[in-house]
Amino acid sequence: MSMVELFWILIIALVVACVAAFLLLLAYKLGGVERLQVEGSDIVSQMANCDFCMSWWLCVVLSLVMVAVFCDAWLLVVPFVATPIARRLI
């Protein structure tokens, strides 16, 4: 992996972290997280109480979408970098 590819993965991780943080804050604002906590199954309810868990799975979903669009398997590394950033942004 070259330095240019690493640079772009870091930039993409920052964008994914910002999008994930925005979507989580929007879900909090619209009451979606509270609905998951109340109406979800036991494991979904526990996950909705954890910002780290929710940001992890949201970053995984966003990176899987990007892998499908760009056909680049290196994008599967993005959630490992983007999740702590998204957690701090929340």
pLDDT bucket at 8, cuts 50 / 70 / 90: confident
pLDDT in tens, 33-89: 899 889 888 898 888 888 899 999 999 999 999 999 999 888 899 999 999 999 898
Q: Which domain holds residue 62?
A: 3-89
Q: Is the entire prediction scored with pTM above 0.95?
A: no
Distance CA 9, CA 1 (A): 11
Q: Is 50 helix (H, G, I), strand (E, B) or coil?
A: coil
Number of structural domains the chain divides into: 1
- The larger pLDDT score, comparing residue 2 to residue 53, is at 53
State the amino acid at position 69 in one-letter form.
V
pLDDT in the model for residue 48:
87
